[in-house]
Structure 1
Amino acid sequence: MADRKIKWGIVGLGNIASQFASDLLLIDDAELTAVASRDISKAELFAEKFGALRMYNSYDLLFEDSEVEIIYIATPHNSHAELSIKALEKGKHVICEKPMSLSYNDAERMIEASTKNNRFFMEAFWTRFIPSIQEILQKVDNGIIGDVNYIKADFAFHGSETENKRLFDKELGGGALFDIGVYPLFLSYILLGNPKEIIAKAIKHKNDIDLQTSMLLQYESAQSVLHASIVSESDMKASISGSKGRIELNSPWFVADGYSLFINDEKEAAFTLPTLGKGYSHEIIECHNCIRNNQIESKLWSHQNSLDLSRIVEEIKNQIGLSFA
């Protein structure tokens, strides 16, 4: 164990922040030093529940807290860029919830702020760090299923405008693409890289956010068929097919507790790889390793990885006519 704890601050205290804080408690060398919400009563309740030492009713006050080393930003999408940049400029390391921004231009600004201020920054793509994803990437790299030529992945559920207001709020960057569509896009990207061509179609809400979006990513010798919806359900499995076999990630695939391996259509084995806690713990450990090694980015989910994914999302955003201005 490290000889000192890394001190965390959390900005934006909703459901995802609660899950993240629960996992933070599982990490021996982590301390939740401060939390911030514009609603001080919410900050007080959150601090009491998760043992934070201090609470603030202002994000700026948390950024000024000299003891806080790294800040987890879990506010709505529309504020990610400005809050990340402000925190980096205050000398804090930052992990920002996905999607890191609502535009490629803002994504570039965030990376520039990390580089300029020599502070660690990472988009919080927790799926990249869970054990099942780590292992299937290794198996694919080792050629177990041959050359990957087809990926099928979706993320879909039936949301409610009354219970999930943020999801349907255009001003906050709501809609299927940015909230959950980034997950299947991420899987295609980490396995096949940047596509040669993208075709995307969406069904829109009356306020112009996308309720569901289907995406086809074309590569030199592979295709990915991807889908995201906040108005319908799916089994949320993912399949990665190659010239020798395929891998099927358990549902929900983006936090899969395991996967099955098929060779020549025969099931070879099923593997169980549970996450520590909800699964955010694995990205927390990565942040600690990077900070202790004086890295400003993760080798597993780098600045360039985030920029590449942001560019893919931007292309789809433009194709389906999304605008958050």
Structure 2
Amino acid sequence: MIRWGIVGPGRIAHSFAKDLKLVEGGKLTGVASRSLERAQEFAKEYGAEHSFGSYEEMFESDEVDVLYIATPHTSHCELSIAAMEKGKHVLCEKPMGINLAEVEQMVDAAKKNKVFLMEALWSRFNPSILKVKEMVEKGDLGKIAYLNADFGFYALDRDAKHRLLNPDLAGGSLLDIGIYPIFLAYLILGKPETIMATSKFHSTGVEAQTAMIFDYPYAQAVLSSGLRSKISMKAEIAGSKGSAYLHERWHETQGYSVELNGELEEIDFPTKGIGYSHEIEEVHHCLNSGKLESTNWSLDNSLDLANLLNEVRKITGISFPGE
């Protein structure tokens, strides 16, 4: 039985804990927060035996094997490295770090301490996205020429100290949600030859909307993320023989459509639970096989993704205090 600990019992941690109950071979045994009371409340709700009033206490504990880092992304690097130095395996919520240098440090720490590390990019294990990727690789859609993926919602009405609007918390749309369209382009088409991008900024200084074109030898990917409006969140992958469409909201999609020979077929392909279960199953598979990284979302993949985010930031002028 793989014993999980959750670091940071926020909103996303609740979704993770619910899905963990659906996966065989693992259980939640520990919860850590800077507030012991908050950790105890979360632990009681999900049946965890141990509560910790500091992250360091759980890193030292013998009651957990692998930790899910669910804190804001400005603390991902520091907390993941501290956990790995105590011999804990780590599943770190995306983005793994706020820049390439942080991700490199985390990868180095995992290799040095001989522990498992994976970025919790749950969309990589979504059944519909896996199926569409398989169709692309088999050539069912022909030669891919175009990919479109967007992610946006309205968030400018939130408090200026909210993590999305706060530059000190590396706020903005790109790292929080822009990572998903970039991920899909990378998953389907690989690394682009060139990137074009432009951003709009909010009064707090964070980037609030970004449009990107990833250019490949044959294909183009048109991508966007934003906090200034709600946008349609479908994704399209189009080739010489046909197209595949990931249903809204595509990053957590419950199905897809395929258009071939003028006919459109819609396929329902629901996730198990909310969808975090699939990345949990991947972690279990890796740990039970003695693997220190996933072959489906490797450390090199996370480094590539961090590098692409860095490139977009350089082009658009997105920066954070203290970098």
TM range (shorter): over 0.9
Residue 261, structure 1, aligned to residue 258, structure 2: yes
Amino acid at match of 2:290: N
Question: 69, 72, 81: which one pairs with 1:73?
Answer: 69
Q: Show the counterpart of 2:222.
A: 225
- The residue number in structure 1 matching 2:241 is 244
Match of 2:298 in 1: 302
Q: Distance in 2 between matches of 1:146 and 1:213?
A: 30
Cα distance between partner residues in 2 of 1:149 and 1:96 = 33
Aligned to 2:274: 278
Q: What percent of counterpart residues are identical?
A: 46
* Alignment of 1:150 onto 2:146: yes
- Name 2:232's counterpart in structure 1: 235
Deviation at 1:163, TM superposition (A): 9.6
- Unaligned runs of at least 5 residues, structure 2: none
Residues 222-263 of structure 1, C-alpha deviation per residue, up to 9 Å, x if partnerless? 100001011211110000001111001100000111100011
Q: 1: distance between equivalents of 2:14 and 2:185?
A: 29
Equivalent in 199, 206, 212 of residue 209 of structure 2: 212
- Which 4+ runs in 1 deviate beyond 4 A? none
1:187 pairs, out of 184, 189, 210, with 184
Cα deviations by residue, 1:180-220 (Å, 9 ceiling, x for unpaired): 00000000000000010011111101222111111110011
Letter of the 2:197 counterpart:
A
Matches of 2:49 and 2:171, distance apart in 1: 32
Q: Does 1:203 align with 2:220?
A: no
Which ranges in structure 1 are unaligned for 5 or more consecutive residues? none
| Matched AA of 2:229 | S
Determine helix, strand or coil for the equivalent of 1:23: helix
Q: Which moved more, 1:96-105 or 1:160-169?
A: 160-169
Aligned-residue offset at 1:323: 1.5
2:121 matched to 1:125? yes
CA distance in 2, matches of 1:146, 1:89: 47
CA distance, structure 1, for counterparts of residue 46 and residue 160 of structure 2: 24
| Alignment: residue pair count | 320
Matched, 1:28 2:35: no
Residues 89 and 117, structure 2, Cα contact 8 Å, conserved in 1: yes
From 7, 15, 40, the equivalent of 2:36 is 40
Residue 97 of structure 2, aligned match among 98, 101, 107: 101
The alignment's TM-score, normalised by the length of structure 2, stands at: 0.97
Say if 2:149 and 2:224, in contact at 8 Å, map to a contact too. yes
Structure 1 residue identity aligned to 2:212:
M
Give the CA RMSD over aligned residues: 1.1
What is residue 315 of structure 2 aligned with on the other side?
Answer: 319
Q: 1:64 maps to which residue?
A: 60
8 Å contact from structure 2 (residues 9, 70) kept in 1: yes
What is the CA–CA distance in structure 1 between the aligned matches of 2:294 and 2:73, rounded to whole Å? 22
SS at match of 1:180: helix
Q: Give the residue type in structure 2 aligned to 1:203.
A: K
Q: CA deviation at 1:42?
A: 1.2
Q: Which of 41, 46, 53 is equivalent to 2:49?
A: 53
- SS of equivalent to 2:209: strand
In the alignment, the residues of structure 1 paired with residue 104 and residue 98 of structure 2 have an alpha-carbon distance, to the nearest angstrom, of 11
Q: Distance in 1 between matches of 2:161 and 2:204?
A: 15
Distance 1:198 1:138 in 2: 26
Whether the 8 Å CA contact 2:173–2:210 is kept in 1: the answer is yes
> Could you tell me how far 1:64 is from its partner in structure 2?
0.6
